[in-house]
Amino acid sequence: MLEARGISSGYGSVDVLHELDLQLAQEEVVAVVGANGAGKSTLVRTLSGLLPLRGGSIEMDGTSIGSVSPHARARRGLIMVPEGRRLFAGLTVRENVDLGRSARGRRDDPDPIDVLGEIFPIVRERQDQRAGLLSGGEQQQVAFARALAGRPRYLLLDEPSLGLSPALTTQLFETIVKIREGLPIGILLVEQMVDRALALADRAYVVERGRVVLSGPAAEVAASSEVQRAYLGDMGAAERPAPAADPSAS
Ligand code: ATP
């Protein structure tokens, strides 16, 4: 279990997270949703150790990690896929994936390209190509493979759909389903695509101005009137126009 208790953090003189509680079990997908500027990326940065804690505690499987460096957290199995993917454009796909391996890998581990090529065919097919030449969706697969090469127990995904076309976003969510089905990993999914994230997740937290304002099973959070109104564009049954044909459904 990854457990944040009463965590606070921020930048300079500004506190962004205020005494926030969050839990993520292994083999669970937990969504974090909220408006722009609510503090979602700040939460991911704080959990991964890029931002120092100003209050509260973070435990991973019973061990306190709140004052441990990001690298040490990664070695213990807490790995982040940052917003914007942040691959090394000039390095090959294989070199990028190998960098992830150094987080926790051992010399006698199987080649991650062989293992991860099953989930991400692009990684195997394009292993010798420079990462910067791949499309956004392909780069997202490499970023996932790099993170998984570090054998995470908990994976933090910060806005993975950002910049992807609708078709690639669908592919991305399918990839997350594949990861959750194939590997014993807890996944924290920070997403602006609130409907997609809630459809996929087991549980969800709604964050507003650095505080959790609602949490629970994802289906219940999705059905709540607050989330319907604020994030899913529900105008209320009386005002709702008849549904139009969905052009992307064909
Ligand atoms: P978005 O989806 O727009 O990224 P978010 O929920 O992830 O939103 P954060 O990026 O965590 O929100 O930002 C929360 C608050 O912290 C905002 O008010 C933002 O302006 C501020 N903030 C974010 N990064 C920094 C930084 N490096 N320095 C100072 N303030 C920052």
Residue 104: the pLDDT is: 62
| Six token digits for residue 124 | 């195997």
Question: Does residue 231 lie within any of the structural domains?
Answer: yes
The amino acid that residue 87 corresponds to is L
Residue 250, pLDDT above cutoff 50: no
- To test the pocket of ligand 1, the residue of 32, 36, 54, 157 to mutate (highest count of ligand atoms within 8 Å of its CB) is 36
Residue 235, pLDDT above cutoff 70: no
The amino acid that residue 240 corresponds to is R
20 and 122 part of one domain: no
pLDDT digits (tens, 9 = 90+) for 69-116: 999 999 999 999 887 678 888 899 988 888 887 666 566 677 777 777
Question: Does residue 174 lie within any of the structural domains?
Answer: no
67 and 134 part of one domain: no
- To test the pocket of ligand 1, the residue of 20, 40, 194, 231 to mutate (highest count of ligand atoms within 8 Å of its CB) is 40
Among 47-51, 104-108, 190-194, which stretch is predicted with the lowest mean pLDDT? 104-108
Provide the residue range defining the domain that includes 118: 86-152
147 and 51 part of one domain: no
Distance 148 CA to ligand 1 centre (A): 26
Q: Which protein residue's CA is at the shortest distance from atom 31 of ligand 1?
A: 11
21 and 117 part of one domain: no
Distance 184 CA to ligand 1 centre (A): 31
11 lines ligand 1 (CB under 6 A): yes
38 and 129 part of one domain: no
15 and 132 part of one domain: no
124 and 157 part of one domain: no
How many domains in the chain? Answer: 2
Question: Does residue 224 lie within any of the structural domains?
Answer: yes
d(CA 149, CA 158): 18
Residue 234: the pLDDT is: 55
Residue 156: the pLDDT is: 95
d(CA 25, CA 86): 26
Atom of ligand 1 nearest to the CA of 190: 7
32 and 67 part of one domain: yes
111 and 147 part of one domain: yes
Instruction: Determine phi and psi for 137, rounding to 5 degrees.
Output: -70, -40
Last residue of a domain, one of 152, 177, 206: 152
Residue 78: the pLDDT is: 95
- To test the pocket of ligand 1, the residue of 14, 36, 41 to mutate (highest count of ligand atoms within 8 Å of its CB) is 41
| Six token digits for residue 224 | 């709540």
pLDDT digits (tens, 9 = 90+) for 196-212: 999 999 999 999 999 99
The dihedral of CA 192, 196, 202, 204: what is its sign?
Answer: positive
Distance 16 CA to ligand 1 centre (A): 8
40 and 58 part of one domain: yes
Closest CA to 37 of 210, 237, 227: 210
